[in-house]
Structure 1
Amino acid sequence: MTEIRTPRLLLRRWTDDDLVPMAEINADPDVMRWIGDGSVRDLEQTAEGIERIEEEWDDEGFGLFAVELLASGELAGFTGLSVPDVLPELASDVEIGWRLGRQFWGQGYASEAAHASLEFALQERGLDRVVSICHAGNTASENVMRKLGMELEREAEHPELGHPLRVYAIDLSQYEA
């Protein structure tokens, strides 16, 4: 079982106990504002999402980690790797992403977890390149991307929803652990 410990976090595979707290995160309109069309997700949709995450772990050898606070055992959200499905031209890339509950914002958890996931991607999984995609205007996510050493590669448009996206990237030669 793949686990990563940081000074404050445990990044791990998903358990049944994660469903309700993740559903609460997904039900918050502020959290979901920058995800897809901004719609919240219910318990059933969250369960389906976690199932897809676990399938990706089985199929690809990577996926989105559940992020747990070491001090309290609370589920803060997720971070990790996935095959991007938003932009077809990035289908051969691996994307790093994150989603944390609002009560965990502004404390450096997203950056800490994402840095551990990036290190996992480039050093443990041997990937040469990682991308990250966000809605234009999502400055909090863009700040995390820059903290990871990622650089803006290009702007694009969501093929179905039409809103502007920003694609950041980093390759192994740019990465400094």
Structure 2
Amino acid sequence: MEPILELHSARLLMRQWRDDDLPAFAAMCDDPQVMRYFPEPLSRLESAALIGRIRGHFAELGFGLWALERKDTGEFIGFTGLSVVGFRSHFTPAVEIGWRLAREHWGLGYASEAAWRALGCGFEHLALDQIVSFTAQSNLPSQKVMQAIGMQHKSADDFQHPNLPDGDPLKPHVLYRITRQQWIRTLNA
């Protein structure tokens, strides 16, 4: 499959990563507020390694986490996209949708806008039957994005993240799902 290098929404360009994204990405991943639902902020080196893994995902599978750029300013604001879940759980194998935005771009609808476009890519281009998303139970802002894009939550799906140690307050996770049929119904609503 040809890699999906670029997607567009009304206000955003979802594109491949450039080397000059690293300073803004590293600053975002070092922000304790942005990273409060992750084990810890990332160093510049860890952020660069993450970009490398994202590029590898695109090279291998043709899709991944796109860099987000505002069309009006050309500014890098974070990422949104699709990736294969990298651990074993009751719902894997699966493709997840995820996002991370710099704090100054929160609350403007960018995460939902980009996520909606990524869902469309997953269902139309990649012919996925289902897409999942998950986060720490305490991460209500991400759960609101999941709800805004039509994803459904069932408490029976919730799980303990296997990559986090017992006792970690972030270990309890919620799982949201959306099927192609649910997405089509949302489109036509």
Alignment TM-score, normalising by the size of structure 2:
0.89
Partner in structure 2 of residue 41 of structure 1: 42
Q: Matched residues, percent identical?
A: 39
Higher gyration radius (CA): 2
Asked if structure 2 preserves the Cα contact closer than 8 Å seen for 1:83 and 1:91, the reply is no
Task: State yes or no: 1:170 paired with 2:178.
Answer: yes
- Deviation for aligned residue 1:90: 3.6
Unaligned 5+ runs, structure 1: none
Please provide the CA RMSD for this pair: 1.2
| One-letter identity of the residue aligned with 2:165 | L
| One-letter identity of the residue aligned with 1:22 | F
- Counterparts of 2:81 and 2:90, CA distance in 1: 20
- Deviation for aligned residue 1:84: 1.4
Which of 15, 20, 30 is the equivalent residue of 1:17? Answer: 20
Which of 161, 165, 174 is the equivalent residue of 1:161? Answer: 165
How many residues end up aligned between the 2 structures?
175
Asked if structure 2 preserves the Cα contact closer than 8 Å seen for 1:87 and 1:158, the reply is no
- Structure 1 residues 115, 95: closer, same or farther in 2, change over 3 A? same
Unaligned 5+ runs, structure 2: none
- Counterparts of 1:28 and 1:74, CA distance in 2: 18
Partner in structure 2 of residue 26 of structure 1: 29
| One-letter identity of the residue aligned with 1:60 | L
- Deviation for aligned residue 1:89: 3.4
- Counterparts of 2:74 and 2:14, CA distance in 1: 11
- Structure 1 residues 90, 60: closer, same or farther in 2, change over 3 A? farther
Partner in structure 1 of residue 125 of structure 2: 124
Asked if structure 2 preserves the Cα contact closer than 8 Å seen for 1:69 and 1:75, the reply is yes
- Counterparts of 2:77 and 2:165, CA distance in 1: 28
SS of 1:132's partner is strand
